[in-house]
């Protein structure tokens, strides 16, 4: 996912500053909040948009060759329907220029997308000379996985529903693995009602082979017991594919959406190598605690610059936050923490 040699602003790399200030990092095994929130959070709100809307949240993100950061943001209008707009920023933090014309918007009469498009993930695929956009299409048929290709974020190609309802939270890997494109997605298992992470393979991004289960919810009291789904697209590292995911706990006063990490096998990503016990980011800032849906951090965008993962996330289904972590810290935690284990406890 390192798509460009982006200049790393000191203020974006909170971890460097923290350590230079002489604050000893906490032991990784206690790293419940290994991500550092950007001081400018929330970095984008509905008030920043050049048109009327209710909320802006759950952005996909990528870094362009120019070094600019592009987010594809979910804008919910005052009908309650969502459309996806392109936003660009020179430093990935502020000065967002948001396109007034949506890239994807509700398609009246369509069983799959009459109610719009949600929660995009963006993956640069060198073989395609462009990006694969995956998002949720929503219509009377239920939420399903929609896939499109683009080279410029102006026109779309190859648009299709690739996984039937109910399925969402999907992203492709940036290159073929063993000859196949791989797609992580989140079907609901009929027998158990469990919403969990599966993987499907394709030779052409059109026809998909039998899906295989990757990761399940953990039972009972766990923070990710109710539902799980991927966050940003998987990040390739020498140790395996780093997967940032969201997990949901159901409580008497609603759901809590938090963020965890796992590691998938580099050559066969259906194999779960490690999964951290602790969550890595949990709603605690006021803009995460309150909004249209309280207590939600929901990342869809990841940009890696050197060793820093910039995580772009929806906060309380209302605005957009940015948090950073070191990829090497996340990997150390996954590989070294004795409490890390692949499966359910
Ligand atoms: C999920 C998705 C997300 C949303 C989250 C919290 O099921 O619908 O779009 O951000 O719930 O409401």
Reported pTM? 0.91
pLDDT of residue 337: 63
Which structure tokens are listed for 256?
Answer: 């809590």
Per the CB < 8 A criterion, the answer to whether 303 and 16 are in contact is no
Residues in the chain: 345
Please tell me if the CB atom of residue 231 comes closer than 6 angstroms to any atom of ligand 1: no
Asked if residue 168 belongs to a domain, the reply is yes
Q: Residue 326 belongs to a domain with what CATH number?
A: 2.115.10.20
Q: In the 8-state DSSP scheme, what is residue 336?
A: H
Rounded to whole angstroms, the Cα distance separating 113 from 142 reads: 9
Q: What is the pLDDT along the chain (345 residues), one digit of tens a residue?
A: 333 333 334 345 444 333 333 344 444 444 457 999 999 999 999 999 999 999 999 999 999 999 999 999 999 999 999 999 999 999 999 999 999 999 999 999 999 999 999 999 999 999 999 999 999 999 999 999 999 999 999 999 989 999 999 999 999 999 999 999 999 999 998 888 889 999 999 999 999 999 999 999 999 999 999 999 999 999 999 999 999 999 999 999 999 999 999 999 999 999 999 999 999 999 999 999 999 999 999 999 999 999 999 999 999 999 999 999 999 999 999 998 656 666 544
Which atom from ligand 1 is nearest to the alpha carbon of 169? 2
CA distances from 246 to 27, 68, 124, 228, 305 (A): 23, 26, 22, 6, 22
In this predicted model, what pLDDT tens digit does every residue of 234-280 receive, in sequence order? 999 999 999 999 999 999 999 999 999 999 999 999 999 999 999 99
Rounded to whole angstroms, the Cα distance separating 166 from 145 reads: 8
Please tell me if the CB atom of residue 196 comes closer than 6 angstroms to any atom of ligand 1: no
Question: Based on the structure, what is the number of domains in the chain?
Answer: 1
pLDDT of residue 326: 97
Q: Closest Cα to atom 1, ligand 1: which residue?
A: 298
Asked if residue 14 belongs to a domain, the reply is no
pLDDT of residue 21: 37
Burial of 154 (0-12, 13-18, 19+ CB in 10 A): exposed
Asked if residue 91 belongs to a domain, the reply is yes
Rounded to whole angstroms, the Cα distance separating 69 from 75 reads: 18
- Gap from CA of 330 to ligand 1 centroid (Å): 25
Burial of 332 (0-12, 13-18, 19+ CB in 10 A): middle
Asked if residue 265 belongs to a domain, the reply is yes
Give the position of tokens 């969550």.
279
Please tell me if the CB atom of residue 257 comes closer than 6 angstroms to any atom of ligand 1: yes
Asked if residue 21 belongs to a domain, the reply is no
Sign of CA dihedral 184, 186, 188, 189: positive
Interior/surface letters 103-129, b for 16+ CB within 10 angstroms, e for the rest: bbbbeeeeebbbbbbbbbbbbbbeebe
Per the CB < 8 A criterion, the answer to whether 158 and 172 are in contact is no
Which structure tokens are listed for 30?
Answer: 């206690």
- The widest CA-to-CA distance across the chain, in whole angstroms, is 59
Asked if residue 1 belongs to a domain, the reply is no
Asked if residue 49 belongs to a domain, the reply is yes
Task: Domain of residue 173: give its range.
Answer: 28-338
- Gap from CA of 162 to ligand 1 centroid (Å): 20
Asked if residue 325 belongs to a domain, the reply is yes
Please tell me if the CB atom of residue 296 comes closer than 6 angstroms to any atom of ligand 1: yes
Please tell me if the CB atom of residue 76 comes closer than 6 angstroms to any atom of ligand 1: no
Please tell me if the CB atom of residue 58 comes closer than 6 angstroms to any atom of ligand 1: yes
């Amino acid at each position: 996912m390192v798509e460009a040699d982006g200049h790393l602003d000191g203020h974006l790399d909170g971890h460097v500053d923290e350590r230079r200030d002489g604050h000893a990092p906490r032991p990784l095994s206690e790293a419940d909040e290994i991500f550092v929130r950007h001081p400018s959070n929330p970095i984008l709100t509905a008030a920043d948009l050049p048109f009327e809307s209710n909320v802006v949240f759950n952005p996909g993100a990528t870094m362009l060759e120019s070094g600019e950061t592009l987010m594809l943001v979910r804008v919910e209008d005052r009908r309650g329907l969502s459309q996806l707009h392109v936003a660009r920023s020179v430093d990935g933090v502020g000065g967002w220029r948001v396109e007034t014309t949506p890239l994807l918007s509700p398609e009246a009469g369509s069983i799959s997308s009459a109610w719009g498009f949600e929660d995009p993930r963006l993956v640069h695929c060198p073989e395609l000379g462009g990006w694969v956009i995956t998002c949720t299409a929503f219509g009377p048929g239920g939420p399903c996985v929609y896939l499109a290709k683009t080279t410029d974020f102006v026109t779309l190609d190859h648009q299709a529903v690739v996984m039937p309802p109910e399925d969402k939270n999907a992203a492709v890997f940036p290159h073929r693995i063993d000859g196949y494109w791989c797609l992580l997605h989140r079907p609901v298992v009929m027998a158990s009602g469990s919403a969990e992470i599966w993987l499907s393979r394709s030779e052409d991004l059109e026809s998909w082979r039998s899906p295989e289960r990757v990761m399940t919810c953990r039972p009972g009291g766990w923070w990710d017991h109710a539902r799980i789904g991927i966050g940003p697209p998987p990040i390739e590292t020498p140790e395996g594919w780093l997967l940032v995911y969201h997990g949901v706990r159901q409580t008497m006063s609603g759901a809590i959406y938090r963020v965890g990490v796992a590691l998938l096998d580099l050559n066969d990503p259906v194999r779960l190598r490690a999964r951290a016990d602790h969550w890595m980011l949990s709603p605690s800032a006021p803009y995460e605690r309150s909004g249209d849906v309280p207590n939600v951090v929901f990342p869809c965008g990841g940009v890696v610059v050197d060793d820093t993962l910039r995580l772009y996330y929806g906060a309380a289904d209302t605005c957009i936050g940015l948090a950073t972590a070191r990829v090497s810290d996340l990997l150390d935690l996954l590989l070294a923490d004795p409490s890390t284990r692949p499966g359910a406890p």
